[in-house]
Amino acid sequence: MTATDPPRHRTDDLAIRLGGRLVGRGDVLIRGVDTLEFAGDGHLTFVGTKTYAARWPGCRAAAAIVDAALALAAAPPDDRPLIIVDDVDLAMIAALTLFAPTPARPARGVHPRAVVHPDATVPESAAVGPFVTVGAGTVLGADVVLHPGVRVGASVTIGAGSELHANVVVGDRCRLGARVLLHPGACIGADGFGFTASADRRRLVKVPHIGIVEIGDEVEIGAGSCVDRAKFGVTSVGSGTKIDNLVQIAHNCRIGRNGVIAAGTGIGGTTVIGDWARIGGCASIADHLTLGHGVQVAARAGVMRDVPDGRVVSGFPADDAAATLRQWAALRRLPDFLKRVSGRPGPTRSEP
């Protein structure tokens, strides 16, 4: 096998690595993973629901990871090997990790075309790629990886094992924890968006933003996302939080731990979001709000007021999700209702 060949694993080895129980042959070689629809010979796939279990007989995959609660786990329809697990999602993550190709990274050391200030601290285990700049007083932790084109300002701290992909920008004095992953084009520590009218009301005066951004451990921030520096103090993202592409987090926000924020979301300045929040794509959250722990915000919701712990909200302006559904149902009935009260016949809801 050459360095470019994908890894292969026997099904008995996979069962051990995935923490599952093997049903069937242990000598089947697996060379990759794919969905039920597209898996073929040599592929491993995943069966986590009754719907997928019904599709298994028609799938061409060589083997499957199967939820132990499904009938398929107890009565396989054919002799293809099954790996029975308690949590298909976690087993899938482990399998994808096993078969993932080795990512391209710059070599350890400082590339000749990088510009690193003499006062910066760069350990031997760090990898600094071409066209990277690192400012004065910046400290990189062990095994930090800076891909081509990364710009790190002065007096920045980047924790051990963090990886910054191409063209990421980290502004002066910002702090990143350990094992932070920033995808291409993410910007940490740009000025917040603040202006006020001049005394003569003829122009806008920029409000200086002299604070910093602090990112916790194991935070992931997607491509093109921005976390603005604070006006004063800190804009913070708690450890374990995952942020999708094209998300805007404004100055002085405080985002809790282990949150998930989907693409296109905008969060206004000084808003506080608790731990384990789930925010859907393209949500808009106004400034100076507090969203509690465990809050869920539906996609495209517009949050205009505080949300208590554990609440699920949707719609614009966002309200309790169940109430929003009732409002939508009432709106669908409104045209028929208006025709009835006016005494004029009209098309029913089923008509165009």
Residues designated as active site = 251
Q: Cβ contacts of residue 345 below 8 Å, gap of 6+?
A: 339
DSSP per-residue string spanning 22-73 = EES-S--EE-EE--TTT--TTEEEEE-SHHHHHHGGG---SEEEEETTSHHH
Query: Are 177 and 235 within 8 A, CB to CB?
Result: no
Give the Cα separation of 176 and 94 in Å (integer): 27
Give the Cα separation of 292 and 287 in Å (integer): 15
Q: Is the dihedral of CA 320, 321, 322, 327 positive or negative?
A: positive
Which residue's entry shows tokens 């910054």? 164
Say if residue 346 is exposed, middle or buried (CB neighbours under 10 Å; 0-12, 13-18, 19+).
exposed
| Helix residue ranges per DSSP H, the chain | 11-17, 50-55, 71-74, 88-99, 321-342
What residue type is 219 in one-letter code? V
8-state DSSP, 196: E
Which residue's entry shows tokens 């921005």? 226
Other Cβ atoms less than 10 A from the Cβ of 239: the count is: 17
